[in-house]
Amino acid sequence: MNIEVDGLNICVKISGSGEETAVMLQGWGTDLGVYDSVAAAINEKYTFVQFDLPGFGGSDEPREAWNVDAYADFFCALMKELKIKRASLIGHSYGGRVIIKLAARESLPFEISNIVLIDSAGILPKKSFAQRMGIKRYKLLKNILNNKVVYALFPELIDDWRSRQGSEDYRNASPMMKKCMVLAVNEDLTDCLPNIRQDTLLIWGDKDTATPISDAKLMEERIPNSGLAVLNGAGHFSFLEQPAIFRSIMRSYFKIV
Protein backbone atom coordinates (compact mmCIF):
# COMPACT_ATOMS: atom_id res chain seq x y z
CA MET A 1 0.00 0.00 0.00
CA ASN A 2 0.99 3.64 -0.31
CA ILE A 3 0.65 6.34 2.32
CA GLU A 4 1.56 10.02 2.40
CA VAL A 5 4.17 11.18 4.92
CA ASP A 6 5.22 14.83 4.96
CA GLY A 7 3.96 15.21 1.40
CA LEU A 8 5.88 12.19 0.08
CA ASN A 9 4.30 9.05 -1.35
CA ILE A 10 5.71 6.13 0.66
CA CYS A 11 5.42 2.42 -0.16
CA VAL A 12 4.54 0.30 2.89
CA LYS A 13 3.94 -3.42 3.45
CA ILE A 14 2.51 -4.85 6.69
CA SER A 15 2.37 -8.55 7.54
CA GLY A 16 1.45 -10.54 10.64
CA SER A 17 -0.99 -9.49 13.30
CA GLY A 18 0.83 -9.75 16.59
CA GLU A 19 0.28 -7.38 19.49
CA GLU A 20 3.94 -6.35 19.32
CA THR A 21 5.41 -4.51 16.32
CA ALA A 22 8.72 -4.74 14.49
CA VAL A 23 9.80 -2.27 11.82
CA MET A 24 12.42 -2.96 9.13
CA LEU A 25 14.74 -0.18 7.92
CA GLN A 26 16.38 -1.12 4.63
CA GLY A 27 19.86 -0.93 3.21
CA TRP A 28 20.89 1.64 0.62
CA GLY A 29 19.36 1.19 -2.83
CA THR A 30 17.22 -1.84 -1.91
CA ASP A 31 13.45 -2.19 -2.01
CA LEU A 32 11.25 -3.47 0.78
CA GLY A 33 10.75 -6.88 -0.86
CA VAL A 34 14.39 -7.79 -0.18
CA TYR A 35 13.42 -8.16 3.47
CA ASP A 36 10.47 -10.55 3.10
CA SER A 37 12.51 -13.36 4.67
CA VAL A 38 13.28 -11.19 7.70
CA ALA A 39 9.56 -10.57 8.11
CA ALA A 40 8.77 -14.27 7.70
CA ALA A 41 11.15 -15.16 10.54
CA ILE A 42 9.08 -13.37 13.20
CA ASN A 43 5.74 -12.18 11.79
CA GLU A 44 3.81 -15.07 13.32
CA LYS A 45 4.31 -13.23 16.62
CA TYR A 46 4.90 -9.64 15.48
CA THR A 47 3.11 -7.19 13.25
CA PHE A 48 5.96 -6.57 10.81
CA VAL A 49 6.29 -3.27 8.93
CA GLN A 50 8.41 -2.94 5.80
CA PHE A 51 8.63 0.31 3.87
CA ASP A 52 10.75 2.06 1.27
CA LEU A 53 12.68 5.05 2.56
CA PRO A 54 12.33 8.21 0.44
CA GLY A 55 14.39 7.71 -2.70
CA PHE A 56 14.35 3.91 -2.46
CA GLY A 57 12.07 1.36 -4.13
CA GLY A 58 8.59 2.70 -4.78
CA SER A 59 8.80 5.79 -2.56
CA ASP A 60 9.26 9.40 -3.68
CA GLU A 61 12.70 10.99 -3.48
CA PRO A 62 13.25 13.70 -0.87
CA ARG A 63 12.97 17.20 -2.33
CA GLU A 64 16.42 18.14 -1.07
CA ALA A 65 19.56 16.27 -0.05
CA TRP A 66 18.90 14.54 3.29
CA ASN A 67 21.53 13.56 5.81
CA VAL A 68 20.99 10.68 8.24
CA ASP A 69 19.29 12.95 10.80
CA ALA A 70 16.76 14.02 8.17
CA TYR A 71 15.93 10.37 7.47
CA ALA A 72 15.58 9.82 11.22
CA ASP A 73 13.15 12.76 11.40
CA PHE A 74 11.19 11.24 8.51
CA PHE A 75 11.01 7.91 10.32
CA CYS A 76 9.49 9.63 13.36
CA ALA A 77 6.84 11.12 11.06
CA LEU A 78 6.18 7.68 9.54
CA MET A 79 5.69 6.11 12.96
CA LYS A 80 3.22 8.87 13.84
CA GLU A 81 1.32 8.31 10.57
CA LEU A 82 1.14 4.55 11.27
CA LYS A 83 0.16 5.22 14.91
CA ILE A 84 2.98 3.05 16.25
CA LYS A 85 3.90 3.93 19.83
CA ARG A 86 6.36 1.10 20.54
CA ALA A 87 8.38 -1.17 18.26
CA SER A 88 11.45 -3.31 17.78
CA LEU A 89 13.67 -1.75 15.11
CA ILE A 90 15.60 -3.92 12.65
CA GLY A 91 18.11 -2.25 10.35
CA HIS A 92 20.28 -3.48 7.52
CA SER A 93 23.27 -1.44 6.32
CA TYR A 94 22.03 2.16 5.82
CA GLY A 95 18.92 1.37 7.87
CA GLY A 96 21.26 0.65 10.76
CA ARG A 97 22.67 4.15 10.45
CA VAL A 98 19.21 5.62 10.89
CA ILE A 99 18.48 3.40 13.90
CA ILE A 100 21.76 4.39 15.59
CA LYS A 101 20.84 8.05 15.16
CA LEU A 102 17.34 7.46 16.53
CA ALA A 103 18.44 5.38 19.51
CA ALA A 104 21.10 7.92 20.50
CA ARG A 105 18.56 10.75 20.75
CA GLU A 106 17.50 11.90 24.21
CA SER A 107 13.81 11.62 23.37
CA LEU A 108 11.59 10.16 20.67
CA PRO A 109 7.85 10.28 19.95
CA PHE A 110 7.76 6.48 20.22
CA GLU A 111 9.52 3.81 22.27
CA ILE A 112 12.19 1.47 20.88
CA SER A 113 11.80 -1.84 22.68
CA ASN A 114 14.95 -3.45 21.26
CA ILE A 115 17.23 -3.29 18.22
CA VAL A 116 18.68 -5.67 15.63
CA LEU A 117 21.49 -4.33 13.43
CA ILE A 118 22.33 -6.47 10.40
CA ASP A 119 25.65 -5.69 8.69
CA SER A 120 25.04 -2.11 9.77
CA ALA A 121 26.75 0.96 8.42
CA GLY A 122 27.82 3.82 10.67
CA ILE A 123 31.55 3.41 11.27
CA LEU A 124 33.75 5.68 9.16
CA PRO A 125 36.74 3.59 8.06
CA LYS A 126 40.23 4.94 8.56
CA LYS A 127 41.84 5.62 5.20
CA SER A 128 45.29 4.35 4.35
CA PHE A 129 47.99 6.67 3.00
CA ALA A 130 47.39 5.27 -0.50
CA GLN A 131 43.65 5.91 -0.20
CA ARG A 132 44.24 9.48 0.98
CA MET A 133 46.56 10.12 -1.96
CA GLY A 134 44.01 8.58 -4.31
CA ILE A 135 41.34 10.96 -3.03
CA LYS A 136 43.63 13.95 -3.56
CA ARG A 137 44.41 12.82 -7.12
CA TYR A 138 40.69 12.32 -7.79
CA LYS A 139 39.78 15.80 -6.53
CA LEU A 140 42.59 17.40 -8.58
CA LEU A 141 41.55 15.56 -11.74
CA LYS A 142 37.88 16.36 -11.11
CA ASN A 143 38.64 20.08 -10.88
CA ILE A 144 40.55 19.95 -14.16
CA LEU A 145 37.88 17.96 -16.00
CA ASN A 146 35.10 20.22 -14.73
CA ASN A 147 36.68 23.09 -16.65
CA LYS A 148 34.32 23.97 -19.51
CA VAL A 149 37.14 24.38 -22.02
CA VAL A 150 38.67 21.00 -21.18
CA TYR A 151 35.24 19.32 -21.31
CA ALA A 152 34.54 20.85 -24.72
CA LEU A 153 37.73 19.25 -26.06
CA PHE A 154 37.18 15.74 -24.64
CA PRO A 155 33.48 15.32 -23.75
CA GLU A 156 33.19 11.56 -24.42
CA LEU A 157 36.37 10.67 -22.53
CA ILE A 158 35.35 12.80 -19.55
CA ASP A 159 31.80 11.39 -19.47
CA ASP A 160 33.23 7.86 -19.55
CA TRP A 161 35.62 8.68 -16.68
CA ARG A 162 32.80 10.18 -14.61
CA SER A 163 30.59 7.12 -15.17
CA ARG A 164 33.24 4.86 -13.62
CA GLN A 165 33.82 6.83 -10.41
CA GLY A 166 32.49 5.83 -6.99
CA SER A 167 30.84 2.65 -5.73
CA GLU A 168 28.18 0.75 -7.67
CA ASP A 169 25.52 2.16 -5.32
CA TYR A 170 26.75 5.67 -6.04
CA ARG A 171 26.88 5.18 -9.80
CA ASN A 172 23.34 3.75 -9.83
CA ALA A 173 21.88 6.57 -7.73
CA SER A 174 19.99 9.58 -9.07
CA PRO A 175 21.64 13.01 -8.72
CA MET A 176 19.59 13.76 -5.58
CA MET A 177 20.34 10.39 -3.97
CA LYS A 178 24.05 10.75 -4.75
CA LYS A 179 24.01 13.90 -2.61
CA CYS A 180 22.23 12.01 0.18
CA MET A 181 24.74 9.17 -0.03
CA VAL A 182 27.72 11.52 0.24
CA LEU A 183 26.21 13.05 3.39
CA ALA A 184 25.78 9.58 4.87
CA VAL A 185 29.12 7.95 4.16
CA ASN A 186 31.13 10.90 5.43
CA GLU A 187 29.53 10.87 8.88
CA ASP A 188 31.01 8.70 11.63
CA LEU A 189 28.46 7.51 14.19
CA THR A 190 30.96 5.90 16.59
CA ASP A 191 30.31 8.52 19.27
CA CYS A 192 26.57 7.74 19.15
CA LEU A 193 27.03 4.09 20.12
CA PRO A 194 27.46 4.49 23.92
CA ASN A 195 24.17 6.42 23.99
CA ILE A 196 22.14 3.45 22.76
CA ARG A 197 20.22 2.26 25.80
CA GLN A 198 18.19 -0.55 24.23
CA ASP A 199 19.14 -4.21 24.14
CA THR A 200 20.87 -4.64 20.77
CA LEU A 201 21.60 -7.75 18.70
CA LEU A 202 24.27 -7.46 16.01
CA ILE A 203 24.11 -9.99 13.15
CA TRP A 204 27.05 -9.95 10.76
CA GLY A 205 28.61 -11.84 7.89
CA ASP A 206 32.29 -12.47 8.55
CA LYS A 207 33.05 -11.96 4.84
CA ASP A 208 31.30 -8.58 4.65
CA THR A 209 33.52 -6.16 2.73
CA ALA A 210 31.10 -3.19 2.73
CA THR A 211 30.81 -3.02 6.53
CA PRO A 212 33.56 -5.34 7.80
CA ILE A 213 33.32 -7.55 10.86
CA SER A 214 35.68 -5.13 12.64
CA ASP A 215 32.78 -2.62 12.60
CA ALA A 216 30.58 -5.18 14.35
CA LYS A 217 33.18 -5.79 17.04
CA LEU A 218 33.55 -2.06 17.63
CA MET A 219 29.76 -1.71 17.93
CA GLU A 220 29.60 -4.63 20.36
CA GLU A 221 32.31 -2.95 22.43
CA ARG A 222 30.68 0.50 22.46
CA ILE A 223 26.95 -0.33 22.72
CA PRO A 224 26.33 -1.13 26.42
CA ASN A 225 23.73 -3.92 26.11
CA SER A 226 24.74 -5.69 22.91
CA GLY A 227 25.74 -9.09 21.61
CA LEU A 228 27.18 -10.25 18.28
CA ALA A 229 26.12 -13.24 16.18
CA VAL A 230 28.48 -14.00 13.30
CA LEU A 231 27.31 -15.79 10.14
CA ASN A 232 30.36 -17.60 8.78
CA GLY A 233 30.92 -17.34 5.05
CA ALA A 234 28.32 -14.61 4.57
CA GLY A 235 28.83 -11.14 3.16
CA HIS A 236 26.93 -7.85 3.38
CA PHE A 237 23.54 -9.50 2.80
CA SER A 238 24.14 -12.14 5.46
CA PHE A 239 20.42 -12.68 6.06
CA LEU A 240 20.01 -13.81 2.43
CA GLU A 241 23.25 -15.79 2.24
CA GLN A 242 22.70 -17.83 5.41
CA PRO A 243 18.88 -17.77 5.66
CA ALA A 244 18.38 -20.82 7.89
CA ILE A 245 20.90 -19.73 10.51
CA PHE A 246 19.65 -16.15 10.35
CA ARG A 247 16.06 -17.28 10.89
CA SER A 248 17.09 -19.42 13.85
CA ILE A 249 18.95 -16.50 15.47
CA MET A 250 16.02 -14.14 14.98
CA ARG A 251 13.45 -16.58 16.37
CA SER A 252 15.63 -17.27 19.40
CA TYR A 253 16.19 -13.57 20.07
CA PHE A 254 12.50 -12.71 19.71
CA LYS A 255 11.54 -15.75 21.81
CA ILE A 256 9.49 -17.52 19.15
CA VAL A 257 9.29 -21.26 19.87
200 pLDDT tier (thresholds 50, 70, 90): very high
Q: Of 13, 29, 98, whose CA–CA distance to 237 is shortest?
A: 29
Contacts of 13 (CB under 8 A, 6+ apart): 1, 32, 33, 49, 50, 51
Check: CB of residue 85 under 8 Å from CB of residue 110: yes
Considering only CA atoms, which of 191, 209, 203, 211 is closest in space to residue 240?
203
| Total residues found in the chain within this entry | 257
Buried/exposed 81-96: b ≥16 CB within 10 Å, e otherwise: ebebeebbbbbbbbbb
Classify domain 2-124+187-253 at the CATH topology level: Rossmann fold (3.40.50)
pLDDT tens digits for range 12-47: 999 998 889 999 999 998 999 999 999 999 999 999
Residue 119 CA to residue 135 CA, distance in Å, equals: 26
pLDDT in tens, 152-177: 766 666 556 455 655 565 566 778 88
Whether pTM exceeds 0.85: no
Q: Where in the chain is the domain with CATH 3.40.50.1820?
A: 2-124+187-253
pLDDT at position 16 is: 93
What tens digit of pLDDT does each residue of 72-92 get? Answer: 999 999 999 999 999 999 999
